[in-house]
Amino acid sequence: MNGIVVINKEKNMTSRDVVNIVGKKLGTQKVGHSGTLDPLATGVLVLGINKYTKVLPLLDNLEKEYIAEVLVGKSYDTLDITGNLLEEKEVKDLEKEKLENVILSFKKTYFQEIPLYSAKKINGKKLYEYAREGKKISLPKKEVSILDIKLLDVYQKDKNYYFKLYCKVSKGTFIRSLINDISKEVDIPMAMSNLERTKVGNFDIKDSNRIDDDYKFLKIEDIFNYPVYELDDEMYFKVKNGVALPGDNYQDIVLFKYKCEEVALYKKNNNLMKVLLMLK
């Protein structure tokens, strides 16, 4: 039982909770995930099962798409509504045109400050551990790209203003931080109140599994458009032992199979094909 399983994560579960539940259901401890989702967030969580845990690093750089709900007029230390209230400001009217223009201005590459309440490590300690100990620390910044962004809706609920935001972002982008940056430009406190990840690369939420479903397992050929080569007995012996091959007749990355079973991914390096990932 090897493959990629795409789960639609429910709210108030950690990504680790999902890994543990899926692993117990499938009777294996070899389950990993790509791209952590906070407990507040829902949506696409990509899992690797058994040998396919080794495939997960190939998915790290995939672009991600989100729909976020934003509470206007309040800010919290976690940058979402799960934290401690820092500031509250009455908002009698939300200028939609101004907000939309500011949001559109974030379609760019910039250095984003990593949230204090995150698992990013500084000097061997996670940032949220510094926060819990009440220790001040200079927050690092990371270059991120907001590939697409747009305002979807503005509305009132429970006497508060909210808006919904769609964004497509690069690896490592914190949507909480993006919302915080928008709030600074508008000069109104804001916080993320809901988040749904709708897509990771080509993994779409409409094709995902609920955690109690009978899971659909995806294979290399379902995920990547790599050329596939069927091995004869002699070549199978070489490939399963990781022997480098002449690269003249192959494209950059190829999948080798033997008797219709996946054996390895090979990648071209200085005109030699070398093991990228062993699947046997």
Tens digit of pLDDT for each residue in 126-146? Answer: 888 887 888 888 888 999 999
User: Is pLDDT above 90 for 25?
Assistant: yes
> Which residue, 208, 234, 211, 230, is CA-closest to 221?
230
The closest alpha carbon to 143, from 170, 115, 112, belongs to 112
What per-residue confidence (pLDDT) applies to 128? Answer: 82
What is the rounded end-to-end Cα distance, in angstroms, of the chain? 12
Q: What percent of the chain has pLDDT over 70?
A: 100
Instruction: Tally helices (H) and strands (E) across the chain.
Output: 6, 18
> In which band, very low, low, confident or very high, does the pLDDT at 44 lie, cut at 50, 70 and 90?
very high
Residues designated catalytic: 38
Q: What local confidence, expressed as pLDDT, does residue 131 receive? A: 78
Q: Where are the domains of the chain?
A: 3-60+202-221, 64-200, 226-278
Average pLDDT, the chain: 93
CATH topology of domain 64-200: Pseudouridine synthase (3.30.2350)
Q: What is the pLDDT of residues 156-178, one digit of tens each?
A: 998 899 999 999 999 999 999 99
Q: Which superfamily does CATH assign the domain made up of 226-278 to? A: PUA domain (2.30.130.10)
The pLDDT of residue 27 is 95
Q: CA-based diameter of the chain, in Å?
A: 75
Could you tell me the sign of the dihedral formed by the alpha carbons of 247, 250, 256, 260, in that order? negative
Fold for the domain defined by 3-60+202-221:
Pseudouridine synthase (3.30.2350)
Can 3-60+202-221 and 226-278 be said to share one CATH topology?
Answer: no
pTM of the model: 0.91
Residue in the structure block whose two tokens are 């600074």? 184
Average pLDDT of the residues in 221-248:
94
